[in-house]
Amino acid sequence: MKNLYKYLILVFSISITTISQADSITEQRRNYQNIKAACTKNNIHIIDKLLPKLKDYPLYPYIQSDILMQKINNDVNSLSTKISVIKFIKKYHDIPVVNSISNQFINSLAQQKKWKTLIDFSPKPPSQIKALCNWHYAKAIVKNEPINFNILVKILLNRIHVPKDCNKLFFVSDKYIKISYLNTIELICVAMKAHDEKLVRYLTNILPEDYKNTGNWIIKFQEKPISILDFIKKAKLSPFTLQAIKYSLFHLSHKDIELARRSITTILNHYNNISASDIQELKDIVASNMIRENISYEQKKWRDEVIIHSKSISLIERRIRLSLMYNEMNKLKQLLIHLPHNAKQKEEWQYWLSSIYYLKGNKKIGDIILRNLMKKRGFYSLVAAQKLGLNYKFKHNISPAPDYSISKLKEIRRIRELIYWKYYNLANIEWTNLIANKSIRQKKMLARYANEQQWWYLSVKTITNAKIWDNIKERFPLAWNSIYKKYTNNKTITKNYAMAVARQESAWDPQAHSLMHAMGLMQLEPTAVKQTINVYNIKKFLGLKKLFDPEINIWIGTGYLEYVFKHLGKNRVLTSAAYNAGISKTKKWRKKSAGKLHVIAFIEAIPFRETREYVKNVLLYNAYYNYITGKPKHILTSSEWKYHY
């Protein structure tokens, strides 16, 4: 009885502690919400009142970050702000938000033209591209040091969008310039794509004297690529000239393929000392734009002759896919043999090599190739199993149970609150920082922990980061499972297919968004949303921003997927292609194949790499979800396999 009394006291005290903690976090969240609103309005009185109450709240560093951002944006006293920023960085050096503060301060100092303060604050180069450009510029101005463009160019050329802050680097006084002229032509191309004519003209002006005339011609090449024929009459052959010729020939081949083809002869007649490899590259440039059927017999013959001598793997592979689209098995065989050994080992080409052996009557080698493919875990592994009439054996590793200590980590406590407030991107950054230096075992444990906490997108991220593909419970979490059941119950699409689409589209990030304005779990574009609303006569949709709400996204997304599925004959291959590339393009590919292709040939012949991989992934992910939910099936249904595409 005495022991029972002690036990009841213990349970009661734990319950009281739990309730107290719940009250505490509820109050902290309320105060956090109020202080966020005060920061937006710059209400110093409320901020000063609430800040001491939040010192134990996991997001306290983020509150201080918000306050400091306000100070950076509004405070003209950069020295005072600098001291505050340095203190913040020193105190929270292990938190990712520090980088944002540092970059923001650098860019603010650059805007104020306080170059010396900038260099004093950041002796080392920052990682953010905008801040990096401002840092290089400040270093040139303050320390009279030349800008090392050989390093900077590599950074700029890997960017889709180059910030305007980087432009001023090319307008520094000549004594600070240290640029390799071989990189200049690449920079001109980047600037032309960005329609920055001022920068293009400046870059041509800083070319060495021997290349000035060449530079003046470059400006003409995009709008009038035919000017290349006039250009070669005046320009001496050099590495720079040759790059300019290749650039203009690329544009000319898009405007007039035959003129581009004939121009090669003119170029070679004028320059008789171009190397064999460069001649082949010129031909490859034009042949690359001839991977289509609406060209003459002579052009096709020329194209294939170029490709059979080419060392460009991507060009050969594109021609292979064209042969698949038109069922040219002899050409397929010839091209597969021509592929370099390493490229030939890709799963898709191993599969088609097996098909060639089957056609030659060599079933034994064909079977061996397919059985070897089955040992892997990709799309063609499951296709090989289906072709052989065998069941694919999924590899399934169990992640170790999370340590109790994980939930106590400061990073985990911050991530939990960030996800509570739906700051998924910030939580993602914190998580990336957390797993960066962890062992594989620790990453497996964290992936399982994330899955158990229903942080599904972080579970997927961890698996991808660690490349632990066989931990499939964490790789393919049953995210929002009950909601998917709810919205697919009365539809012809299966729950697992809809989940496979979402897994491919967003990797379960509810706030995922793309440059094409696709939003949320199922990456819905405005046109698809509008179409779905019209088809299903939806009255209560409250606007595109609501697509970041998982249930609304699943509701609209499964509706659109069902519409496409029915429209394309209840075929997942065609539906997946259309979900990615659009219904009209999918119909165009079907028209071109004219019902002559087997399903695998049709998939591999899709000309867009993104769509091709998308279809494979969705079908593969669907198969994994079928396995996880106890419904293992072949990767393709019987009707999908037998259908003539």
Q: Point out the residues that are catalytic.
A: 505
> Cα–Cα distance between 228 and 247 in angstroms, integer?
10
Read off φ and ψ for residue 513, nearest 5 degrees: -150, 150
3-state SS, residue 148: strand
By the 10 Å C-beta count (0-12 exposed, 13-18 middle, 19+ buried), 388 is classed as middle
Handedness of CA 532, 537, 538, 543 (dihedral sign): positive
DSSP assignment of 579-602 equals HHH-HHHHHHHHHHHTT---HHHH
Strand partners, 524: 519
> Cα–Cα distance between 34 and 394 in angstroms, integer?
50
Which is nearest to 286 in space by CA: 314, 317, 307? 307
> Cα–Cα distance between 123 and 341 in angstroms, integer?
48
177-178 vs 147-148, strand pairing mode: parallel
**Token reading at 287:** 């042949």
Whole-number Cα distances in Å, 146 to 55, 114, 176? 46, 19, 4
Angle between helices 313-325 and 347-359 (to 10 degrees): 50
Contacts of 54 by beta carbon, 8 Å cutoff, 6+ apart: 28, 31, 32, 35, 60, 63
Residues 31, 54 contacting (CB under 8 angstroms): yes
By the 10 Å C-beta count (0-12 exposed, 13-18 middle, 19+ buried), 332 is classed as buried
- Residue 613 CB neighbours (<10 A): 15
Residue corresponding to tokens 């594989």: 440
3-state SS, residue 393: coil
Residue corresponding to tokens 């060392």: 311
